[in-house]
């Protein structure tokens, strides 16, 4: 009797080709650099150093130059390219470059490109050098530590006097913009929640994170950022719905404490800005000077949004050039006899569509979609395999951080800042961690005597 015909081999899923992990001896230094980079970049240490010492040591340039060879030598650059999140942002970058020759001011767009490329360093470093579940946890702990450091700096360096609307800011650099300060605080806040949910025992870090859960929302309210307030409300609602019924009362009481603290410590001028969210933003409806200023700001932003939408429809393919919305708007004002505002769009998505075209905006949004998809995949794996319960906490943390960026991005022009590449890099690291857990373990080869032969290549 003849043997039955051999069955064709089963199709191997794409993720099966991915290695489960790397040799720790060659990977650990790159991971330590990633942790240092998280704290250095998120706290804007180079800006604070310049403010304190008044010396331009070019620390950011030195760190970025250190990162590039480590990315190449460690193989992290090539691992990052396996992520759909990274591919989507690279496609956006390619379209970004394609739009530059058609810019209304090519020199200004080239300068904007350099800033964007520097932002991409965090994407590749975190996506390629944070490997596995445990390293993702430590990276998010570093984010929590960074946001606590920002809060502490705000205690010593914060002021409401420098801003003409009485909004709380720091005195230098990125944090001098109250909207950016609020965005970074909200993006890092879920990291503090992760520490409390996953770190065992009592520690100074847990105590600081517990305090940060109350202090950071109060600081966000003090900035007077309307987009950040909406993001804070949505994030609280998502968290409230995620906790068990027995804990909802505790969470609700904590939220009430935050509201009371915000009302006590926030500047009156900042609180007036929130009134325009729920009441008419027509300046004629107010008599108080602070309220009139807040209403005029709201009307200005609405007008900028409408102009950016109109510009997106007039230049749907390649836009008016990266960073060139204010220039193009001023040029249109001269031609059509209306007043130029000379400000950015105050909407990250129409900022992209008006300056690089609608295709670029879709690529950027695709990267955001893949970030949410990565957190969903991690949650599903953790649900199916309880031994990976930590993945669910990591996914929830990053989901809240991406949500914070998206909501605040609707009200601010942060499309080219490091904010999204930074959090996207962490989402890509989570994506790789999930893929490594799905990878089937390769059986060890055996020698003719039946004993296991020594392994070669990557360690599993």
Q: How far is 351 from 311, CA to CA, in rounded Å?
A: 10
Q: What is the pLDDT of residue 24?
A: 37
452: which DSSP letter? B
Q: What is the pLDDT of residue 264?
A: 86
Q: What is the pLDDT of residues 275-286, one digit of tens each?
A: 777 665 556 556
Output the furthest CA–CA distance in the chain (Å, rounded). Answer: 99
Instruction: Give Cα separations from 309 to 28, 72, 146, 418 (angstroms).
Output: 47, 40, 36, 24
Q: How far is 106 from 320, CA to CA, in rounded Å?
A: 10
* Confidence check: pLDDT of 246 > 70: yes
* Confidence check: pLDDT of 8 > 70: no
Q: What is the pLDDT of residues 211-243, one digit of tens each?
A: 999 999 999 999 989 899 999 999 999 999 999
Residue matched to tokens 């690089």: 356
Strand partners, 159: 169
Cβ within 8 Å of residue 98, ≥6 positions away = 318
Higher pLDDT, 292 or 136: 136
Q: How far is 415 from 400, CA to CA, in rounded Å?
A: 18
DSSP annotation string for 83-130: -HHHHHHHHHHHHHHHHGGG-SSHHHHHHHHHHHHHHHHHHHHHHHH-
Q: What is the pLDDT of residues 290-318, one digit of tens each?
A: 666 677 777 888 888 899 999 999 999 99
- If phi over 0 gives left and psi between -120 and 50 gives alpha, with beta otherwise, what is residue 44? left
Average confidence score pLDDT of the chain: 84
Phi/psi at 299 (5° precision): -65, -40
């Amino acid at each position: 009797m003849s043997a039955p015909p051999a069955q064709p081999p089963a199709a191997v899923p794409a993720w099966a080709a991915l290695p489960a992990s790397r040799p720790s001896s060659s990977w650990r230094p790159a991971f330590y650099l990633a942790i240092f980079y998280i704290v250095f970049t998120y706290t804007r240490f180079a800006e604070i150093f310049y403010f304190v010492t008044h010396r331009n040591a070019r620390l950011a340039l030195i760190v970025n130059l250190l990162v590039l060879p480590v990315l190449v030598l460690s193989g992290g650059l090539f691992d990052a390219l396996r992520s759909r999140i990274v591919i989507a942002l690279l496609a956006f970058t390619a379209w970004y470059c394609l739009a530059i020759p058609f810019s209304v001011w090519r020199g200004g767009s080239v300068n904007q490109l350099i800033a964007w490329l520097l932002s991409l360093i965090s994407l590749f470093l975190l996506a390629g050098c944070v490997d596995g579940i445990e390293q993702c946890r430590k990276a998010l702990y570093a984010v929590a530590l960074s946001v606590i450091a920002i809060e502490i700096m705000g205690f010593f360096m914060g002021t409401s006097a420098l801003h003409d609307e009485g909004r709380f800011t720091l005195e230098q650099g990125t944090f001098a913009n109250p909207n950016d300060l609020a965005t970074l605080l909200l993006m890092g806040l879920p990291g503090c929640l992760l520490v409390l949910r996953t770190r065992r025992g009592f520690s100074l870090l847990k105590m600081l994170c517990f305090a940060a859960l109350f202090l950071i929302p109060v600081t966000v309210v003090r900035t007077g950022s309307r987009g950040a307030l909406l993001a804070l409300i949505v994030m609280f609602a998502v968290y409230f719905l995620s906790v068990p019924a027995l804990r909802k009362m505790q969470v609700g009481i904590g939220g009430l404490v935050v509201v009371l603290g915000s009302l006590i410590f926030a500047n009156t001028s900042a609180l007036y800005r929130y009134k325009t969210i729920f009441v008419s933003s027509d300046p004629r409806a107010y008599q108080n000077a602070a309220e009139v200023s807040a209403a005029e700001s709201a009307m200005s932003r609405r007008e900028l949004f409408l102009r950016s939408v109109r510009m997106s429809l007039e230049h749907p393919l390649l836009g008016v050039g990266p960073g060139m919305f204010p220039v193009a708007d001023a040029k249109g004002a001269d031609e059509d006899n209306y007043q130029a505002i000379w400000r950015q769009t105050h909407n990250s998505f129409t900022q992209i569509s008006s300056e690089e075209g609608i295709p670029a905006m879709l690529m950027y949004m695709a990267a955001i979609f893949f970030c949410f998809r990565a957190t969903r995949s991690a949650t599903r794996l953790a649900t199916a395999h309880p031994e990976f319960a930590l993945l669910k906490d990591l996914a929830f943390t990053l989901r809240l951080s991406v949500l914070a960026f998206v909501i605040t991005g609707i009200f601010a022009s942060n499309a080219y800042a490091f904010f999204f590449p930074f959090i996207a890099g962490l989402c890509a690291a989570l994506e790789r961690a999930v893929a490594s857990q799905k990878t089937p373990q390769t059986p060890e080869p055996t020698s003719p005597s039946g004993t296991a032969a020594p392994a070669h290549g990557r360690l599993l």
